[in-house]
Structure 1
Amino acid sequence: MTAEVRPFSVAIVSDSALQRRRLQDAVARFGLEVCFTGDPARLIGYPTVPDVQLWLVALEDEADHPSLFDFLLENTEAPILFGVDEAPNPGSTDFFRWERRLQDKLEKQLGTLEQLDDPVSLEALNQDPPVAESPRRPTWIPEATRDQPAEEVWVLGASLGGPAAVKAFLDGLPQGLPVGFVYAQHIDGNFTDVLTRVLGRHAHYALKQAEPDYQVRNGDVVLMPVDHEWYLDSRGRLQQKDTAWPGPYGPSIDQVLLNVADHYKDRCHAILFSGMGNDGAIAAPLLRAYGSKIWVQNSDSCGNSSMPDSVAATGCTSFVGDPVQLARKLTQTIEESCLLKRKQQRDSA
């Protein structure tokens, strides 16, 4: 049985309730688990010293808490980050710079971390103007039956900045395409309902939660859960494992690609959208060996291009574009496939 991979754990000590809250929100978006948050007096009076990988200490005046440093040095061997800057108001330019500095400090101790979208950025997508009428489906693409299992499945992989990119991609698709999607988005599990609400407004490509024994159908955008690994059984139906996704973030995009391709083979394709890290770069060559198509979002349109750039660096990608261009390319690819099938049927008649 695969061992569960747990996130790095941290403890936050600050004499400001506002700073504790902002630090807790920030480190959670980096995929870290906060095991303790409180002021110095609460920590010193705590029954047991939390067992964490890192301590974050942000005090208004360090001279006000002389016993705190002796306490930490005597009771923990984990690294201690003193003098964390005061967090500005969220949403400001200064706040994003502060968050970037905090991430740099954390990565010096814990290695590469990946920032995740938060509820504020997700809800902001709801403030967009109403979606324009979707493009018309090309004449040569017959309208797909919604309740029929999808013959081809595209895995949409994304992280930081991904929801906005995936939304723009879905907005750019005509209705009735004979395709289903599996959506693997790095996100805190507490924000899944927000993501579902924001992206669930599409009438033509409906975002839905994965369910056991469900088979991906035309028009589906099936959201992979964060907590446990999912795979496709021999019938092509979704099933949940008892174990967590491998790696530090859920869902693991690499593992989603491998699990879906294990059933669909060359009928499984992938588009990697905005995100940090390199998730997807391991599975991309294996999918390419099946004959699958691997596309990525271009750097200029990404909130963070590390993930699609890493996949592109494998040499497995056959198309690069912004979300709207990716939608057009998919429509064109399906149209060409339909024309080829039509020609083959005519030649064999």
Structure 2
Amino acid sequence: MSIRVLVVDDSGFFRRRVTDIINADGRMEVVGVASNGREAIEMNESLKPDVITMDYEMPVMDGITAVRNIMQRRPVPVLMFSSLTFEGARVTLDALDAGALDFLPKNFDQIAKDAVQIKRALTDKIAGVARSQTKVAPSPVARPAVRGRLTQTELVVIGTSTGGPAALQTLFKTIPGSFKTPIIIVQHMPGSFTKAFAERLNSLSPLIVKEAADGDKIERGHVYVAPGGMQLMVDRRGGGVIHIRESDERVNYRPSVDIAFASAAKHYGNKALAIVLTGMGADGREGARLLKQGGATVWAQDEESCVIFGMPLAVIKEGLSDEVLPLKDIGPRLVEEVG
């Protein structure tokens, strides 16, 4: 059965372009198009699509308001189109807060360099969010038995992708200001988004959250968000320092969870705790393997609380996770065992 897609945008040209790309992919079909948020709400209920692609700036009703209404009335995975500007980042983060699952640049030239890659990026993203489950009230999951306090942990490194912004906001609301172990976040995001995302987390958390910069000292009570488009590595020497480097073109993810995990494995070994949250793909699996070889501890988010179970599943299937935890338990466990 093909994936049924509703395309929402006030530009007729953009609607046609997206529709042509989707309909050319044998996995999916466009079942309707809407020119504003109000039409999107109505067509979501009448056509019952599996996925909605949504613009944010439209007449009658904007995309963010539409997403909120859709999540209240008939929840469905929503893929937002965004401009890659600082203001576009703020708007996109608002859309993710409202319930959208993921986003893509509206300027397709910023997705890839050629038409074939552009089409694949769009359709693979739609297929990925279609596999997700929109969860209104997850069933409670039994808490694993406590394995003993991780007293030697000097660094926590978190890797995530699709669904990560909402998951991280939930997580950091549960970590008190008394938590002193430094935290590194690697979230798949464009370069123009990570500063805005760090500012948002900082406003929600009693900890000090900032976008990481090359040469930053790793300080207690601080959280560092890897800058988009770059690679973050950590070095324990000199009390702990962050290195930010240009990314090799051959590396798919910028920032890459694998690269950050690998550096933590090299420099922190069994004094590192890695956490793999919701996300598409398998970034983090090979880094987790290196961490385990060095004696580090690895936690993975459970399937029920994930938007996309890809990244945690990749780690779990390889036997690299020490514990599999629901999102709601990760913060309290950090405080209990590390804090």
Tell me the secondary structure at the aligned position of residue 247 of structure 1. coil
Does structure 1 residue 97 correspond to structure 2 residue 90?
Answer: no
**How far apart are the structure 1 equivalents of 2:290 and 2:81?**
28
**Is residue 2:329 matched to residue 1:325?**
yes
Distance 1:168 1:325 in 2: 11
- 1:18 aligned residue: 11
Among 122, 126, 129, the alignment partner of 2:93 is: 122
Deviations 1:184-221 (A, max 9, x none): 00112232243223212134222201122212111211
Counterpart CA distance in 1 for 2:197 and 2:319 is 31
Please give the root-mean-square deviation of Cα atoms over the aligned residues, in Å: 3.6
Change beyond 3 A, Cα 1:309–1:21:
same
User: TM-score, with normalisation over the residues of structure 1?
Assistant: 0.58
Is contact 1:228-1:245 (8 Å) kept? Answer: no
User: Given the alignment of the two structures, is residue 279 of structure 1 paired with residue 250 of structure 2, yes or no?
Assistant: no
Task: Find the aligned partners of 1:302 and 1:117 in 2 and give their Cα distance.
Answer: 22
Shift in CA distance, 212/159, structure 1 to aligned 2, threshold 3 Å: same
1:317 is displaced (CA, Å) by 0.9
Q: 1:259 aligns with which of 260, 263, 269?
A: 263
1:291 counterpart SS class: coil
Give me the whole-angstrom Cα distance separating, in 1, the residues matched to 2:81 and 2:300: 19
- Counterparts of 1:181 and 1:210 in 2: how far apart (Å)? 11
**Aligned match of 1:310:** 314
Describe how 1:42-121 pairs up with structure 2 within 5 A: 57=20, 85=30, 87-88=33-34, 93=44, 97-99=51-53, 119=89, 120=91
**Percent identity of paired positions between Structure 1 and Structure 2:** 24
SS state of the match for residue 230, structure 1?
strand
Distance (whole Å) between structure 1 residues aligned to residue 249 and residue 273 of structure 2: 20
Cα distance in 1 for partners of 2:200, 2:264 equals: 25
2:95 & 2:324 partners in 1: Cα distance? Answer: 26
Structure 1 residues 57 and 320: CA distance shift in structure 2, 3 A: same
Aligned equivalents of 2:16, 2:170: Cα separation in 1: 31
Matches within 5 A, 1:1-349: 18-21=11-14, 57=20, 85=30, 87-88=33-34, 93=44, 97-99=51-53, 119=89, 120=91, 122-124=93-95, 152-233=154-235, 234-235=237-238, 236-244=240-248, 247-334=251-338
**How far does residue 19 in structure 1 lie from its aligned partner after superposition?**
4.9
Any idea what SS the aligned residue of 2:157 has? strand
Query: Greater share of strand residues, 1 or 2?
Result: 2
Q: Give how far 1:122 is off.
A: 2.0
The one-letter amino acid paired with 2:268 is: Y
Rate the CA distance shift 1:241–1:191 in 2: closer, same or farther, 3 A. Answer: closer
Task: Look up the SS of the partner of 1:288 in the other structure.
Answer: helix
Equivalent residue, structure 2, for 1:342? none
Counterparts of 2:162 and 2:246, CA distance in 1: 27
C-alpha spacing 1:244/1:180, structure 2 compared with 1 (3 Å): same
Q: In the aligned structure 2, how far is the partner of 1:125 from the partner of 1:58?
A: 24
**C-alpha separation in 2, matches of 1:126 and 1:170:** 14
**1:260-304 C-alpha deviation (Å, 9 max, x unpaired):** 222212112111111111111111121011111100111111111
TM, length-normalised to structure 2: 0.59
Q: What is the one-letter code of the residue matched to 2:93?
A: L
- Counterpart CA distance in 2 for 1:258 and 1:324 is 27
Specify whether residues 308 and 228 from structure 1 end up closer, same or farther in structure 2 by C-alpha distance, changes over 3 A only.
Answer: same
| CA–CA separation in structure 1 for the residues paired with 2:337 and 2:81 | 31
Distance 1:125 1:205, change over 3 A: farther
Which residue is 1:77 aligned to?
A: none
Runs of 5+ consecutive residues of structure 1 not aligned to the other structure: 1-15, 27-55, 60-79, 100-114, 129-140, 142-149, 336-349
List runs of 5+ in structure 2 lacking aligned partners. Answer: 1-8, 54-78, 83-88, 100-148
Asked whether the 8 Å contact 2:190–2:229 carries over to 1, the reply is no
Asked if structure 2 preserves the Cα contact closer than 8 Å seen for 1:125 and 1:198, the reply is no
Number of residue-to-residue matches in the alignment = 236
Query: Which deviations, in whole Å up to 9, do the C-alpha atoms of 1:297-340 show, x marking residues without a partner?
Result: 111111111111111111111111222201121122126xxxxx
